[in-house]
A and B are shown apart, each in its own frame.
Chain A
């Protein structure tokens, strides 16, 4: 009886506090409670945005309607869709984030490889300057660039964003160069040396041996690059002035665009701009990224873990 009793105590104890192979019940409960609480904090703005965007004008005015709209109302989305000029802005956003990202990723790999695999005078200085390009605020360089683009007639053209990317000076290029630098440093050199003895040229070695072995770094860089280019508005709003309009640019002048389409004096009170329409616009803005994120989510995180972005 005594033996049985202590056995049960042990089992309860191990259930509550965990043993060598698993966490206890108390720990697990606290862990999930915390994760759910923090997860809620993260999701709250999104949830708020989505619920508000589904509210009809009457629901907005009704103080009783907080989290559950009384009807399925999509009118806000119809308006926001028109105001954002959605199809055009979406295509522009996709082009203006994918094209520079592809170029930026490839060029960053090239530079990172050169820094990791070759010894030459000034290597450390270049690494330091790359870090500096990350730190220097954009407003310290953007005006002369803008004026030069204006003189060259490139203002408003996608080239204004693509050219810096080609030269390794794209949006946050420094991070990607350093990621590739780290990646190539940590990859073994044996294969490349063997190929060199066989007489392969440096560029060939880079393209056929180094690039395939650094695939996770390419995935991470490309995805982050797309996301950051998509969300970037400071540079795009200056360089694309009067030209192509991306989704975030359309969103930042949403009120003005709305009042052009639906003049406040001309439409009835329910069609005036309200927070529900604004939230619909915001949601439409992040929807493509959300879709991309949930499709690529696994890749996103696992590649980061494999590239060792953290640095040594």
Chain B
């Protein structure tokens, strides 16, 4: 019986079990006129093993309803005090390790849409419903602007939004963070999400 590929780490080594690929036979590609051979299909179905490294805390925290950011606290750096969201492990100026901070409260109070895009298409393997409402969210006192998606309502530049978190059955990806217009009742949030 096949089983999704699973990975855990023991003594800083990956340990894997289950099926990491599935065999599908090649098929010939032929010209419909004359049935001449032109090529062949090469099916691939693979599972990658990916480390979040120093960003792991960000993705773990989403599943706990927290939005983590980082701040450069190097007194010798011109960027001291700069808050980064997206979370940066190291300051982009001095390359010293940043301090991890919880900015959930700041996001709840000051997040607003910097720009947005409603996209009618998606690529293969996307699990978001279409149309996808991409939003870029700015926060008071934060140097950078986070990309995400709006789960409810129609985006507008300048609109106040608040973060919601997928605490039930989290994916441990950026999809566990979404946004809704400020004032949205909790009962209207998508399945699995809460404030």
A binds B: no
Interface, chain B (partner A; CB < 8 A) = none
